[in-house]
Structure 1
Amino acid sequence: MQIFLADASAFMPFNPQTYFSHTIDTAQQIESFNAERRISVAFRPVSGLTPSLTFEGGQSSSLSLWQTTSRSGFLTVPNDDLEVFTVRFVTDGSMVRRDHREQHIGRPGHAMMVSFDAMRSEEASADFAAVSGTVTRTALAAAHTFLEKPKRQGHLPRFEPVVDATGLPLQNLMRTMKRVVGQLREGVQTSDLVFPLLEEIMVYRLLTAWPREDLDRVPSGPVGPQPIKRAKAYIDGHLAEKILLSDVASAAGVGVRRLQLVFKGELGKTPVQFILERRLDRVRADLKHANDDGASIGTIATRWGFTHMGDFGRRYRKRFGEVPSVTRRG
């Protein structure tokens, strides 16, 4: 798992793990897990109940993402004092988050976004389930700069701690988080060029979807043809490499949010859709000449960054109306 920032080594609050999965069924397992200090919180069982807790996910040096289920409920207290934000969508049960000055309650239909360094404890109810993510303040501020180009570098908006999560933007964010956890479970290869875009989009969706008090104004009005020309030229020149929206926006000379608006306005699609379509076009062109070099469909798909064949096949059929093998035979 990788964060999209250029220098993640400047802040290393997490121990990078491509994928982790833990199941805790006894008090002794809780004690052993806490002693190893694998994560930034310590677990406590609910008094009088046999613990039942499972969580899985992955983390880079600046971003952690995981899903949790628990029949018994549990308590957590921080192990470390980290400058990070935790985002949580509770899908079953409830969670009480106690900070030094106030408390917040997460339940289905609502989402929480709170600063980790203010936390005293969290208490999950019985039959609890949630998808959660933690991102460093530095990474979030850098993404905000790429997205909106605020007047102050390193500035972060003031986010609402508990919000209604039934609207489409936050539902999309939750689905993206779940999808990323699912792909971590399946395994992400270094040659996968789709996953880094998905991870980046997740952070941008967080910034754009979450209600806040001091939203920076996004420049409005038309722009000249040069930004989109520069963006398309950069994309076409780097299709076989990892492409991030922050890179495309820098090449175009605009912020990421402005880049997204320009693509939707001029092309009727997002930059990510444009990138994936361009890569699928390259796959199709190679398939038509595959008999010349004997390359398999999987080899050609991987050449252009598609390592999950099921996902690749669905995208290919949607774009061209046929399966890759038909293209190759034709």
Structure 2
Amino acid sequence: MPDTTSRLPGIRSPESIWRPQRFFAHQLQSVRELEYVNDGGGLAVNFYPVSRVSPQVRVEGGQSRTMSLWHTQSTTGFLTIPTIEADLFTIRFVTNGQMIRRNWRDEQVVTQGYATFSALEDMRNGEASAGFSAISSTIARASLLASYHALEQKPDRPLPVLEPLTSLDNMGMRALLLSLEQMQIRLRDVRTADDLFFPLLEEIISYQLLSAWPRAPAAELPSTGNLAAAHVRRAIDYIEAHLATPLRLADVAAVAGVSVRLLQMSFKRELNMTPVEFIIERRLQHVHRDLCREAYRETSIADLGRRWGFAHMSDFAQRYRRRFGCTPSDTRRDMLRKVE
């Protein structure tokens, strides 16, 4: 695919949605050119200026239906906002300058020598500084999970949780960055007939990523006996006894004998999560447990979700996937495969 430089109007497809592209290269030097690429570039994000200075941004890479790889450089800085809803993970190595990545719950300041890993759906926007450069990639959750199962030879295990921010202080991470840089350079030489390039790239990057990227500690809930605050233990006992019923924080706090505010502060101190997050986590664990039991094989996933307090199936499915690295249907399918 030829260089689709955005300064030459008319040479790109008018299709404005995300689409596979073996190679693209956009040199953006004005607000008009940013808007032009946003309207027809077929990328997963839109670009916006961060100052009144004429933007200077170059983005070059390629993408298939399940992954993408690109290099970004800017002397002025820019803002990006996701434009698609897709079950993708984003990997970004900052090689110069910094980027503030704002998620829906927090934000990360990523500088040279650090890399980020997060779900695309969690990203609100990313603000790059002047003098910024980075090598970035996305990969489908399903593809990464399949690679993990092949690597570990344990098809029933959920995808491990990777650290959202990590440094390049070990050889594995530096080797992963080098692989991304070399493969991105080779994108210029990919031809229409080279259909094996992206599947091979996906496999190489997946295995390196899973082997080198630090994993976050497993989210283990402390036992009630290890908690210092008696009112937190009372709250947990009440929550566990009423997980399958509507729960209000005011009721939980009343049983614990404290205010809602103190209850929230105590949960954050003792468990590093809010009472609501604790309730959701325990409900997700119960659904996962039931989906793994043959006794519930005839019970629909929707009924199991509702049984444990999830009224909205789309929200439930997203939370389950983030927690266990697979869909509820995947968990059930794994259970049925084991018993057949």
The Cα shift of 1:115 comes to 1.1
Structure 1 stretches of 4+ with a deviation exceeding 6 A read 191-195
2:45 alignment partner, one of 41, 45, 53:
41
Residue pair 2:27, 2:57 contacting (<8 A) in 1 also: yes
Matched, 1:209 2:175: no
2:146 alignment partner, one of 142, 148, 169:
142
Change (3 A) 1:41 1:195: closer
User: Higher RCO, 1 or 2 (CA under 8 Å, sep at least 6)?
Assistant: 1
In 1, distance between residues paired with 2:84 and 2:152? 31
2:184 alignment partner, one of 166, 181, 201:
181
The Cα shift of 1:186 comes to 2.4
1:97 alignment partner, one of 97, 101, 105:
101
The Cα shift of 1:150 comes to 2.6
The Cα shift of 1:113 comes to 0.6
The Cα shift of 1:80 comes to 1.6
The Cα shift of 1:198 comes to 5.1
Pairing of 1:215-294 with structure 2 (within 5 A): none
The Cα shift of 1:143 comes to 1.1
- Give the partner amino acid of 1:18: R
The Cα shift of 1:128 comes to 0.5
Deviations 1:51-88 (A, max 9, x none): 00001111111010000000110001111222111101
- Give the partner amino acid of 1:178: E
Secondary structure class of the residue paired with 1:69: strand
2:174 maps to: 171
In 2, distance between residues paired with 1:124 and 1:179? 23
Residue pair 1:65, 1:133 contacting (<8 A) in 2 also: yes
**Which 5+ residue runs of structure 1 have no aligned equivalent?**
2-12, 216-330
The Cα shift of 1:213 comes to 2.7
Deviations 1:254-300 (A, max 9, x none): xxxxxxxxxxxxxxxxxxxxxxxxxxxxxxxxxxxxxxxxxxxxxxx
In 2, distance between residues paired with 1:77 and 1:19? 21
CA radius of gyration, larger in: 2
The Cα shift of 1:14 comes to 5.3
- Give the partner amino acid of 1:112: T
In 2, distance between residues paired with 1:194 and 1:123? 31
The Cα shift of 1:163 comes to 0.4
Residue pair 2:67, 2:202 contacting (<8 A) in 1 also: no
2:7 maps to: none
2:160 alignment partner, one of 142, 151, 157:
157
Residue pair 2:80, 2:125 contacting (<8 A) in 1 also: yes
Percent identity between the two aligned chains: 39
Matched, 1:18 2:36: no
Secondary structure class of the residue paired with 2:101: strand
The Cα shift of 1:194 comes to 8.3
In the superposition, the TM-score normalised over structure 1's length comes to 0.57
In 2, distance between residues paired with 1:15 and 1:101? 29
In 1, distance between residues paired with 2:91 and 2:147? 16
The Cα shift of 1:46 comes to 1.1
The Cα shift of 1:166 comes to 2.6
Matched, 1:70 2:74: yes
Residue pair 1:73, 1:128 contacting (<8 A) in 2 also: yes
Matched, 1:121 2:125: yes
In 2, distance between residues paired with 1:80 and 1:97? 17
In 2, distance between residues paired with 1:214 and 1:189? 43
The Cα shift of 1:190 comes to 4.0
The Cα shift of 1:195 comes to 7.9
In 2, distance between residues paired with 1:37 and 1:194? 22
2:57 maps to: 53
- Give the partner amino acid of 1:43: F
In 2, distance between residues paired with 1:41 and 1:195? 20
In the superposition, the TM-score normalised over structure 2's length comes to 0.56
Aligned length: 203
- Give the partner amino acid of 1:175: L
Secondary structure class of the residue paired with 2:91: strand
Please report the RMSD computed on the Cα atoms of aligned residues, expressed in angstroms. Answer: 2.3
The Cα shift of 1:149 comes to 2.2
In 2, distance between residues paired with 1:193 and 1:99? 34
